[in-house]
Amino acid sequence: MTRHTPIRRARTWLGAGALLATGALALTACGSGFSDTPGENQASGSGKLSLLIGSSGDAETKAVTDAVAAWSEQSGVEAEVQTANDLPQQLSQGFAAGSPPDLFYLAPEALAGYAANGSIAAYGDDLANKDDFYPSLVDNFTVDGTFYCAPKDFSTLALIINADLWSAAGLTDADIPTTWDELASVAQRLTVDGRVGLAFGAEYQRVGAFMAQAGGGLVTDGQATADSPENVEALTYVKTHLNDGTFAFASDVGAGWGGEALGTQKAAMVIEGNWITGAMSADYPDVNYTVAELPAGPGGKGTLQFTNCWGMAADGGNQEQARSLVEYLTGTDQQLAFSQAFGPMPSIQSAADAWTSANPTLTAFLAGAEYAQFPPNMAGAADVITDFNAQLESLKTGDPQALLQTAQSNLEAIVK
């Protein structure tokens, strides 16, 4: 088990020199030193770049904003970062209005749909660092043999534990759960009035970890398998402990997400990705927490792995500048700076050793990469997952088999 102690002073990050701070979610970054005369390193072309990101919190927003500002100062190209409240909706609206951002976070499950209608540029093979990305991440952003966009980083889910509450309950490192039964047991010991033992989001992107641990998944070997017995077992396990009060959805304890539930001590444990580290440092610096691998289920170890790429609008007039910015943002120094600021793991292999040395307390996240599942990424998967998430909100009173049968039907309609 790894321990994080409170951070009571600002920390200086690598790369752009960003400082963790609490700020507004919607921030802009403009290049200082912009001039009409291109400098030696300025990307060709003209025009202001626009970026739309879906941030995990103030730490990520500030880190990206500061990085873009640093690139603007170097290149002489002005750029603006906007943070979306609902990224898929705002991105869709931007394309529908004919005014999409130049660059934007794009999830694997949304890629195929945008690629099919020609909305996004396929620039992956034009990147100077294309061979440095992990092959599995490249696969996630490849459609019909075309590498579309640069993976910006990746994350896995792990068990995040409030270390002080853990110790107060008489638990030690020897009690870190490695099985579902052990997880249920420690969750019960940690549950008291006003605090639940374990909290997580009411969505496939968290609950799906239990499905993986049961040996299931939404799609297996190209076939829809949502209604498999393994998935039914997983949702039944979750439902059982939602009803006995030792597990809870974050929203049901008055938290917007797992990090808030942990930080406000409404939950003693949460299931979250490594993006939680930046949020905890920025918003809850006095909370001690530890990180452990998720416990194994009947099917063995399991977790989910997430990534986004830097999507680029196909009709954007600033593609050369945008590609230059992507190469900067996915370089070793900048990815390590992002990792320190808000927790993701670098998407490039050349940064692996430096990341491991700099993050010895986060090894559980990296260990999960060895057995993690990716969410489905075929065209239409995003809509299926959105519908599944809406149904998972009623899991506490619903029928796991029925929820999964609906997801199965929806997946069968898109899996070819």
> What pLDDT score does 9 carry?
24
pLDDT at 342 over 60: yes
DSSP states along 147-192: E-SEEEEEEEEEEEEEHHHHHHTT--GGG---BHHHHHHHHHHH-B
> What pLDDT score does 59 carry?
87
- Per-residue pLDDT, averaged over 107-112, amounts to 90
The CATH class of the 7-155+307-362 domain is alpha beta
Rounded to an integer, what distance in angstroms lies between the CA atom of residue 142 and that of residue 200? 30
pLDDT digits (tens, 9 = 90+) for 378-394: 888 889 999 999 999 99
> What pLDDT score does 19 carry?
22
Neighbours of 93 (CB within 10 A): 12
Residue extent(s) of CATH 3.40.190.10 domains in the chain: 7-155+307-362, 157-305+371-412
pLDDT at 13 over 90: no
Rounded to an integer, what distance in angstroms lies between the CA atom of residue 177 and that of residue 184? 9
What residues does 105 pair with on adjacent strands? 310
- Per-residue pLDDT, averaged over 286-302, amounts to 98
- Whole-model pTM: value is 0.76
Name the helix (H) or strand (E) containing 344. none
pLDDT at 291 over 50: yes
pLDDT at 196 over 80: yes
Q: Tell me the fold of 157-305+371-412.
A: D-Maltodextrin-Binding Protein; domain 2 (3.40.190)
Rounded to an integer, what distance in angstroms lies between the CA atom of residue 317 and that of residue 47? 8
Tokens standing for residue 234: 């997983």
Largest CA distance in the chain: 67
Q: In which band, very low, low, confident or very high, does the pLDDT at 202 lie, cut at 50, 70 and 90?
A: very high
pLDDT digits (tens, 9 = 90+) for 249-265: 999 999 999 999 999 99
For 50, phi then psi, to 5°, come to -115, 135
Q: In which band, very low, low, confident or very high, does the pLDDT at 1 lie, cut at 50, 70 and 90?
A: low
pLDDT digits (tens, 9 = 90+) for 170-191: 999 999 999 999 999 999 999 9
pLDDT at 338 over 90: yes
> What pLDDT score does 251 carry?
98
Name the helix (H) or strand (E) containing 86. none
Q: In which band, very low, low, confident or very high, does the pLDDT at 117 lie, cut at 50, 70 and 90?
A: very high
Output b/e per residue, 197-211; b: 16+ Cβ within 10 A. Answer: bbbbbbbbbbbbbbb
Nearest CA to 235 among 371, 392, 408?
392
Radius of gyration of the chain from Cα atoms? 21
> What pLDDT score does 24 carry?
26
Q: In which band, very low, low, confident or very high, does the pLDDT at 230 lie, cut at 50, 70 and 90?
A: very high
- Per-residue pLDDT, averaged over 25-34, amounts to 27
